[in-house]
Structure 1
Amino acid sequence: MKLRRRRTAADGDWDEAAVLDEPAAPHAAEDDETGWQASVAGLSGMARLARVGIWVVIIAGPLLGSAALLSSAAPSQGVAKTAPETRQASAIGPSGFAQLFVAAYLEAGEGTEQNLAPYYAGSVTLTHAPGTRTATRTAAISAREVSPGYWSVTVAASIAAKTSKDSYRDAGVQYYQVAVQALGPRSAGGPSATESAVGYTAVSLPAQVAAPEALRPGDLGYGTSRGSGASDPATQTAAAFLNAFLAGDGELDRYTSPGVELQPVTPAPYAEVKITGVEDNSGDSAEQSVPADGAKRRLLVTVDATDSDGNTFPLTYALTLQARAGRWEISALDDAPALGPSSTPSAVAGTPSPDSDDSATDSPSPSVS
Structure 2
Amino acid sequence: MSAESMRKDSGTELLRRMAARRRRDNIVVTIVAILAVLGGGHAVIDAFSTPPPGPSDNSTIALISRSRLAEAFAREFVVTYLSANAGQRDRIADFLSTPPQGTLPATSRPVTDPIVVYSTRSLSESNVDVWTVTVSVRVVRRAGVAEEAREYYRVAVSVMEGRLRALAAPAAVAPPARGLGLALRYSTACATDSPLAQVAAGFLQALLTGNGDLARYVTTDSVIESLRPAPFSTVEQTTTASDDAECGVRGDQAQVMVTATPKVDGAVTPALSYPLTMVRVAGQWQVRSMDPFPALQVPVVVSSGQQGREGNTGSVTPTRTAPSSAAQIPSATQN
Confirm or deny a common fold (TM above 0.5): yes
What TM-score does the superposition give when structure 2 sets the normalisation length? 0.65
Q: Check the 8 A contact 2:120/2:132 in 1, yes or no.
A: yes
1:247 aligns with 2:225: no
Quick one: structure 1 residues 245 and 93, their matched pair in 2 at CA, closer, same or farther if it must change by over 3 Å? farther
Partners in 2 of 1:328 and 1:344 — Cα distance? 29
Given the alignment, which residue of 125, 140, 146 partners 1:161? 140
What pairs with 1:150-229 in structure 2 (closer than 5 Å)?
A: 150-157=130-137, 159-161=138-140, 163-164=142-143, 166-171=144-149, 173-184=150-161, 198-226=162-190, 229=191
Partners in 2 of 1:153 and 1:207 — Cα distance? 11
Please state how far the C-alpha of 1:331 moved relative to its aligned partner. 0.2
Partners in 2 of 1:112 and 1:347 — Cα distance? 50
What pairs with 1:125-136 in structure 2 (closer than 5 Å)?
A: 126-135=103-112
Please state how far the C-alpha of 1:266 moved relative to its aligned partner. 2.2
Partners in 2 of 1:254 and 1:80 — Cα distance? 61
Quick one: structure 1 residues 245 and 117, their matched pair in 2 at CA, closer, same or farther if it must change by over 3 Å? farther
Deviations 1:30-74 (A, max 9, x none): xxxxxxxxxxxxxxxxxxxxxxxxxxxxxxxxxxxxxxxxxxxxx
1:97 aligns with 2:76: no
Residue 278 (structure 2) aligns with: 321
Quick one: structure 1 residues 328 and 152, their matched pair in 2 at CA, closer, same or farther if it must change by over 3 Å? same
RMSD: 2.7
Q: Check the 8 A contact 2:119/2:133 in 1, yes or no.
A: yes
Give identity over the alignment, percent: 26
Partners in 2 of 1:261 and 1:307 — Cα distance? 26
Identify the structure with the greater helix proportion. Answer: 2
Please state how far the C-alpha of 1:99 moved relative to its aligned partner. 2.2
2:72 counterpart SS class: helix
1:298 counterpart SS class: strand
**Number of residue pairs the alignment of both structures matches:** 246
Residue 19 (structure 1) aligns with: none
1:214 counterpart SS class: coil
Residue 334 (structure 1) aligns with: 291
Given the alignment, which residue of 203, 225, 234 partners 1:263? 225
Residue 265 (structure 2) aligns with: 308
Quick one: structure 1 residues 346 and 338, their matched pair in 2 at CA, closer, same or farther if it must change by over 3 Å? closer
Partners in 2 of 1:309 and 1:92 — Cα distance? 43
> Larger Rg: 1 or 2?
1
Partners in 2 of 1:318 and 1:216 — Cα distance? 20
Please state how far the C-alpha of 1:336 moved relative to its aligned partner. 0.7
List runs of 5+ in structure 2 lacking aligned partners: 1-47, 306-335
Q: Check the 8 A contact 1:290/1:327 in 2, yes or no.
A: no
Partners in 2 of 1:129 and 1:238 — Cα distance? 60
Q: Check the 8 A contact 2:183/2:296 in 1, yes or no.
A: yes
Residue 236 (structure 1) aligns with: 198
Given the alignment, which residue of 236, 243, 251 partners 1:274? 236
Q: Check the 8 A contact 2:141/2:148 in 1, yes or no.
A: no
Deviations 1:264-303 (A, max 9, x none): 32221111112443221112xx165354xxx211111111
Partners in 2 of 1:179 and 1:199 — Cα distance? 14
Structure 1 runs (4+) deviating above 4 angstroms are 79-82, 344-348
1:289 aligns with 2:249: yes
